[in-house]
Amino acid sequence: MFWVLFVAVACASLSFLLCTGVLTGRLVSPYSIPGERSLHGRPVARGGGLGIAAGVLFGAVVLIPQWQIPLALTLMWMVSAWDDWSDASPTLRLAVHSLSAMLVVAAWGEGGLSTIVAIPLIIVVIWSVNLFNFIDGVDGVAASAAIIGGTALATIAVFLPGTDAARPASMALIGSAVVVAASALGFLPMNLPPARLFMGDGGSTVLGLALAAVSIKGVADGVWQAAVPLAIFMPLWADATYTLVRRLLRGHNPLRPHREHLYQRLTLAGLGHRGVLFWIVGWMLLSIAVAGLVRSLAVPLATAAVTAYAAFYVVLTEWTLRRQPNLLMNPRAFLALLYDVAAAASAWALLFWARFNFNIDGAEFTAGDVARSLAFVVPVHALVFVGLGLYEGLWRFASMADLRRIVLGAFVAAASTAVLFVIVRPDSFIWPRSVLLLQPALLILLMGGARFAYRSWKEHRLYGLAAAQGEPVLVLGAGAAGARLVSELSRSDTWQVVALLDDDMTKVGARVHDTPVVGRLAQAEDVARRFGARHAIIAMPNTTHEARRRAVEIAASAGLSVLTVPSYDELLSEESPLAKLRAIELEDLLGRDPVVLDNPGLASWISGRTVLVTGAGGSIGTELCNQVARFHPGRLVMVDISEFASHVVGEHIATKLPRERIEVYVGNARNRERMLEIFERERPHIVFHAAAYKHVPLTETVNAWEAVRNNVLGTLVAAECARAVAAEKFVLISTDKAVRPSSIMGASKRLAELAIMSLPETPTKFVGVRFGNVLGSNGSVIPKFREQIASGGPVTVTHPEMTRYFMSIPEAAQLVLQAGLMGHPQSLFVLDMGRPVLIVELARELIRLARGSTNAIPIVYTGLRPGEKMHEELTGDGEQFLPTAHAKVRRVVASLEAAIDIDELLRWLDQPSPYDVRAELKRWVIDFSPPAPPAALSTILPPQPA
């Protein structure tokens, strides 16, 4: 034994020195790639195979008398090294692999092998070589598998020799297996994630060939059964064989590169190299236990054990990766499965034992009865638990939903076990019915109790001390949102909820997650003083905006810093509400009641269909894409003139829809050829036209004709393209500035409305939707006010009496979809925009929110800008509203209007810029009346009191 160990240590040392030499530059390896870098940013060196091959060859020369084995290893290394350096052809590599396999079989196969036996052995050797080659793609996996496999073979040869006659042969096998493991061990430290050195084919194929040769020799000399090495390397055999068969059935070329092996799918799913290494190594360690069992079983039972193990591996990895990926991606989930299976077995065995009065030696009861029954119980429970999704969550966040699944799983598994017993009728053991009835209750206690005990321990350890150190805070609102918020804040080291307030007197005096509801909202100042709180969180997302505004005013008057939870839907989403807390914004105070959409109708209209949005990179366009994505369109096509905006919206929507279902085009809506190319390629069913120039002052002078052509010609081109591909509906996004317009922008949008209403009704239905300003859109007044406040002021307002209608971007986009759904041909809709808001009041609210007082920053009045109106209107001359099925969408009915001659309009739009754009535009839009520009006020008025 001494010389065997000495050779092993020498081989390991040689391998380590050679691998280290490649890294330090003291040994120039032909397999170092100058200038190439790995994913980790390190220079790529592929000299690991040289060290491993040298160690294995050195050991083979010393330990093995047959010349065929060193020759086979040398040939294998040569063609693999060639492939590392310059990509040898698959045919050449397969030919050398076959020759090497023949040499191994000839040297170590039984004498006089028939062709029927020799050919399968050659195929087995070739396949074994490729088992190691395909796992070389993950740091440390191939080397670790060689170490584990070689050590396992050596251990079985030492402790479980087949016969006395096999002992001399087993000594040589021990040395050979140790040499392989030691050679890989010298390389492993530099190949663990993140790898500093890569093995390459020159190392992995040599390892595979050496271990295949050792395995065949052991079988030929009677040291172990053929099933033993098969069981040891079963994770590799099962994955590679199943992958090959699946690819062949799909008609794939087996010689082409692919990413369908388990380790590749796990890596692509996000597990990472280190996780994949642990996963495969863990399965190999489990397979060693199976190999030890196989060694002591008869040949038929050993074969059955290996087959069952392979089938279990394939089913678990393939089915689980598709249906329950958390079991593979999260090792804790797999440990949870093992615990639950053990709990099911323990509960069954304990009740079985109790049923016979704890008398193991009773005549009616033997340990074999329990073992045979568990062969049915354990697989059934494992399949039921995984199928019901018990491992999608984490024990740390165990909840009543998990308990419900546990209860369901326990009873379904018990019923399935009973049915299986009835079908199979295993008369060789007793299966008392009382055990079937009582086992689910005990199992629920074991599974549920463990989860909630772990959660309690984890939360106490993580948050028990931190909660007492947080900042005291009041929560305004004791409903479902407030309750969940209190639960989440209990884990925070930033906040400590000391009390809740709610105007519902039935809740006052109750406790929410052990936190008292001490009074009404109006008592906030007294409660804050009593508990020493300086902050309040508004948790009232399902109330009206008036109620939320009142809560903010009460908290502000109490001197509290106010935070809020933005919306009810966001609060009840999967993400923690703690992450959504933010300061009160103007949108919360001017917000509107939630929009109730016809979700079934919109889903039926949009789901599975192609939707095209022009101007997709703008504020409204982006939100339209967001809302459309909610209803799972078959394809969402986004068009914008800005390359940057197109990129941004495309990346954003890719987080909501699969990339194969979205497309982003850069194009100008006025370019007929480009738009027709897009429409004919995508053939949309629904078109939302949001592309427009909308900034009033910018479009009043030198950009006036450009604005008219963009807003009118762009609309006509997009509408004609929609008709050309027989789109079902075309929805124009218009504006309230189109009503009795006073600006170029408003008049151009009104002309666009008139133009689409003059188009033929078939095959496309044309719909227009008007709404006012949206809060926070690109270029709107609110971002401008915020910038002025941040820079210290002053805040510029055009006129103290100017008003505007406001609505949020999501509300506007949602109602556009609703109007598009209900729109009849040539329909014009106006969204309910609530009451007009004084711009100066809006500025004061922003100053108060930012600085605590409206007097903190002065307001400057600059006068109306060209084209601006003091007050926007909702209906024009001869127009009136008709109600629709939706309370916030109204249809505009106008007196009889003369249809526009589209051909004449197009000729006008195609001409050079007219001398007087306003005069020309008034010919088309008869109620266009730009006001005379007023004198600028340019007076700094004293701030009004808060």
Q: Which of 118-122, 416-420, 618-622, 888-892 has the highest mean pLDDT?
A: 618-622
Position 577, amino acid: P
What's residue 778's pLDDT?
56
Check residue 263 and give its pLDDT.
75
Region 926-936: mean pLDDT is 61
Which residues are within 8 A (CB) of 789 and not within 5 positions of it... i.e. 6 or more apart?
Answer: 795, 846, 847, 850, 851, 857
Confidence label for 717 from pLDDT (cuts 50, 70 and 90):
very high
**R_g of the chain, CA atoms, integer Å:** 38
Between CA 148 and CA 285 the distance in angstroms is: 7
Do strands 535-538 and 471-476 pair parallel, antiparallel, or not at all (unpaired)? parallel
* pLDDT at site 269: 65
Residue 714: predicted pLDDT? 93
Distance CA 301, CA 307 (A): 10
Residue 394 scores a pLDDT above 60: yes
Residue 725's pLDDT band (cuts 50, 70, 90): very high
Span 65-99, pLDDT tens digits: 778 888 888 888 888 878 777 777 878 888 888 88
Q: What are phi and psi of 470, to 5 degrees?
A: -75, 170
172-186, 280-294, 567-581, 630-644 — most confident range: 630-644
**CA neighbor of 869 nearest in space, from 692, 696, 698:** 696
Q: What local confidence, expressed as pLDDT, does residue 202 receive? A: 79
Greater pLDDT, 61 or 922:
922
Residue 879, pLDDT score: 67
Cis peptide leading into residue 90 (ω within 30°)? no
176: its two tokens: 């050979």
Candidate from 28-37, 801-810, 869-878 with smallest mean pLDDT: 28-37
The stretches of 472-618 forming alpha helices (DSSP H) are 480-489, 524-531, 545-557, 568-571, 586-589, 599-606
Percent of the chain predicted with pLDDT > 70: 76
pLDDT score, position 358:
64
Q: Cα separation of 367 and 349, whole Å?
A: 9
Largest CA distance in the chain: 114
Mean pLDDT in residue range 866-870: 69
Coil vs helix vs strand at 187: helix
Average pLDDT over residues 181-192: 78
What's the rounded Cα separation, in Å, for the pair 312 and 309?
A: 5
Supply the pLDDT for residue 469.
57
> Residue 189, Cα to own-chain centre: how many angstroms?
33
Q: Say what the pLDDT of residue 40 is.
A: 40
Higher-confidence position of 778 and 123: 123
pLDDT digits (tens, 9 = 90+) for 587-604: 555 555 556 667 788 888
For 389, the token pair is 């999704």
Does residue 470 carry a pLDDT above 80? no
- pLDDT tens-place string over residues 93-131: 888 888 888 888 887 655 445 566 778 888 888 888 888
Query: Tokens in use for 393?
Result: 């969550």
pLDDT at position 519 is 85
Q: Is the pLDDT of residue 33 over 60?
A: no
Task: Tell me the percentage of the chain whose pLDDT exceeds 90.
Answer: 9
Model pLDDT for residues 301-329, shown as the tens digit of each residue: 777 777 777 777 777 777 777 666 667 76
Q: Tell me what pLDDT residue 569 has.
A: 45
Ramachandran bin of 938, using left for φ above 0, alpha for ψ from -120 to 50, beta for the remaining angles: left
Place of tokens 């006659």: 165
Answer yes or no: are the C-beta atoms of 642 and 691 closer than 8 Å.
no
pLDDT at 636 (0 to 100): 94
Q: Is the pLDDT of residue 465 over 50?
A: no
- The gap between the terminal CA atoms of the chain, to the nearest Å, is 94
- Output the DSSP codes for 120-177: HHHHHHHHHHHHHHHGGGSTTHHHHHHHHHHHHHHHHHHH--S-GGGHHHHHHHHHHH
pLDDT band of 874, cuts 50, 70, 90:
low
Which of 435, 334, 338 minimizes the C-alpha distance to 378? 338
Structure confidence at residue 268 (pLDDT): 67
Say which residue the tokens 């929507």 belong to: 653
Residue 681's pLDDT band (cuts 50, 70, 90): very high
- State residue 113's pLDDT score: 53
The pTM for the full model equals 0.47
- Sort strands 535-538 and 515-519 into parallel, antiparallel or unpaired: unpaired
Q: Among residues 116, 278, 124, which one has the least CA distance to residue 214?
A: 124
The predicted model gives 449-466 an average pLDDT of 67
Q: For 88-97, 189-198, 356-365, 714-723, which range has the lowest pLDDT when averaged over its residues?
A: 356-365
pLDDT (average), residues 15-24: 49
- pLDDT for position 892: 78
Mean pLDDT of all residues in 660-674: 92
- Split at pLDDT 50, 70, 90, the class of 42 is very low
Average pLDDT, the chain: 76
Q: Of residues 365 and 239, which shows the higher confidence score?
A: 239
